[in-house]
Amino acid sequence: MTINAAGWRPEAPQADGGEPGTWTGNKALMLEEPLIFEIGDAATTGVDFEMPSSPEVEGGNFLAGLERNRAIGLPGLTEPEAVRHYTRLSRQNYAIDLGLFPLGSCTMKHNPRLNEKVARMPGFADIHPLQPIDTVQGALELIARLGEWLVKLTGMHSVAMSPKAGAHGELCGLLAIRAALEARGDAREVILVPESAHGTNPATAAFAGYRVENIPANARGRVDLAALQARLGPDVAAVMITNPNTCGLFEPDMVAISRAVHDAGALVYCDGANFNAIVGRVRPGDLGIDAMHINLHKTFSTPHGGGGPGSGPVVFSEALTPFAPLPFVEKQGGHFVLVEEETAGDHHARSFGRMVAFHGQMGMFTRALAYILSHGADGLRQVSSDAVLNANYVLRQLDDVLDAPFGDSGPCMHEALFSDKGFAGGLTTLDLAKGLIDEGFHPMTMYFPLVVHGAMLVEPTETESKAALDQFIGALRNVAERAKAGDPALKAAPIHAPRRRLDETLAARKPVLVWTEPPSAEAAE
């Protein structure tokens, strides 16, 4: 960035034809914005404070020796400058409120504003985990009612509401499985994870101290049942299976898988991150599942992305319920209580302990219950139906121009899977994704699942209209046709984004996370 007497300006931006860009770097309403350190200075502030009259303190020092003794290097802005800076930055961010967010396996759906309004009610938003139980009866009732819905929708026996997110829920389920096996004196050391499972599954199993072994997928993208049956034995503690799986496909052999695992003395953990595709239609408890986490921030509309917030309640079979974590909410004589270890009784008699100190996800619980109650059972069934319909529409509208590895295996579930097979000129999935940015869309999930080379995973969710899908399909088709023709311009994409293509490998290995002032011209000489 070059600073001159007339103001800041970017370094010689180039327009599409190679001609110099505008003097400011702005292009109409696409506004260039420097770092806050480059436009602010320590001498500027948006608020003026009058020095208070100093009380009588030792030495006459109002700050009692805690005054600043050196500059801290933070920039100052006037109030209009601060507002404009962050507003301009927000215009460079993509969000679900701007357009379709096709990330596969993430379920980036619209969050109804009703849910946001309810979550901001003072009785939910302003409570504290250390308040007396008598003062948070409404919050505890909400947790209990949400838990009842989750048990009903999954056909399971009980639920633990404390896990904070999906992977945390996975850990919760595995710890309950470990406790159940140890209670019968059967310590096992292997977790089987199909290739079509979510990537967090093997990581969680390893974190819990298990040895992980993969189970291959068959030619139709499902678990190879014969390979699984052949590997089951006295050392296998559990199978972690994602259903629907990361290829966007339902596991039709799920009942047979559960039966084989149970016959071998092991237990079945199901990754419920894709529950949005089957909610209201399939109850995991009917499939022989022993434990399953549910991502509230996917299926039931709480905000998703940006590292949080999240919530991952875990539902348990009757066999695992005694080993579920504490505390849990229970109604006793018209009064809701948090049941701790000393009062758990037979219900959680052999609990493995606690996952967290507090139920800290009230905002997520509130949004999820508002979503469930506003839809009802029939509405939730329509949610999954529309999500599956939208994904199949995307799949069939694009399978003539993009390779669909399992397109011949019948309908998909909630997401459509493609690959970069047939791209010319050395172009890859990454190039297509960058080209899609120029079309005004956030790219789909890339290179996942790993069982498909150059994978592109698209999950449109149920909240996108046919018109929105048609616009996205048209854009993706255009870029795909360019990739198949070997258009070299895709190697330079994105062209029209606020920033051009970055060296993502270098950024991951050597990130620059701290701003440092560039040397002055005199120092450089």
* 460 neighbors 256 (Cβ within 8 angstroms): no
What whole-number distance in Å separates Cα of residue 479 and Cα of residue 467? 19
In a shared domain, residues 260 and 150: yes
Domain CATH for 499: 3.90.1150.10
Domain CATH for 321: 3.40.640.10
Asked if residue 271 belongs to a domain, the reply is yes
Asked if residue 475 belongs to a domain, the reply is yes
Q: Which domain holds residue 406?
A: 383-509
In a shared domain, residues 183 and 250: yes
In a shared domain, residues 499 and 398: yes
In a shared domain, residues 153 and 299: yes
Among 313, 347, 369, give the residue marking a domain's end: 369
User: SS3 for 80-113, per residue?
Assistant: HHHHHHHHHHHHCCCCCCCCCCCECCCCCCCCCH
Among 303, 335, 369, give the residue marking a domain's end: 369
Other beta carbons less than 10 A from residue 202's beta carbon: 18
Residue 359 has a pLDDT of 86
In a shared domain, residues 391 and 355: no
In a shared domain, residues 365 and 483: no
Residue 49 has a pLDDT of 74
Asked if residue 505 belongs to a domain, the reply is yes
In a shared domain, residues 403 and 315: no
Asked if residue 232 belongs to a domain, the reply is yes
pLDDT tens digits for the chain (525 residues)? 444 433 444 444 444 444 455 677 777 777 888 899 988 888 888 887 776 665 555 555 666 677 778 878 888 899 999 999 999 998 888 888 899 999 998 899 998 999 999 999 999 999 998 999 999 999 999 999 999 999 999 999 999 999 998 999 999 999 999 999 999 999 899 999 999 888 899 999 999 999 999 999 999 999 999 999 999 999 999 999 999 999 999 999 999 999 999 999 999 999 999 999 999 999 999 999 999 999 998 999 877 766 567 899 999 999 999 999 999 899 998 899 988 875 555 556 689 999 998 888 899 999 999 999 999 999 999 999 999 999 999 999 999 999 999 999 889 999 999 999 999 999 999 999 999 999 999 999 999 998 899 999 999 999 999 999 999 999 999 999 999 999 999 999 999 888 889 888 899 999 988 888 777 666 555
* 286 neighbors 267 (Cβ within 8 angstroms): no
Cα 85 to chain centroid distance, Å, stands at: 28
In a shared domain, residues 438 and 352: no
DSSP string, 446-505: ES-STTSTT-EEE---TT--HHHHHHHHHHHHHHHHHHHTT-GGGGG--SSSSS----HH
Token output for 447: 């290179």
How many separate domains does the chain show?
2
Residue with tokens 């092991």: 266
In a shared domain, residues 364 and 401: no
Sign of CA dihedral 56, 61, 64, 67: positive
Asked if residue 87 belongs to a domain, the reply is no
Among 326, 341, 369, give the residue marking a domain's end: 369
Asked if residue 251 belongs to a domain, the reply is yes
What whole-number distance in Å separates Cα of residue 403 and Cα of residue 159? 41
In a shared domain, residues 354 and 485: no
Asked if residue 83 belongs to a domain, the reply is no
Residue 5 has a pLDDT of 38
Residue 8 has a pLDDT of 47
Residue with tokens 């319909």: 389
Nearest to 272 by CA among 212, 307, 315, 323: 315
Asked if residue 220 belongs to a domain, the reply is yes
What whole-number distance in Å separates Cα of residue 395 and Cα of residue 262? 36
In a shared domain, residues 395 and 491: yes
Contacts of 277 (CB under 8 A, 6+ apart): 244, 250, 384, 387, 388, 413, 414
In a shared domain, residues 198 and 285: yes
What whole-number distance in Å separates Cα of residue 112 and Cα of residue 156? 28
How far CA 56 is from CA of 52, 53, 62, 220, in Å, comes to 12, 10, 8, 80
Neighbour-count burial of 350, counting CB atoms closer than 10 A to its CB (0-12 exposed, 13-18 middle, 19+ buried): middle
Where does 1-68 show beta strands of DSSP type E?
2-4, 7-9
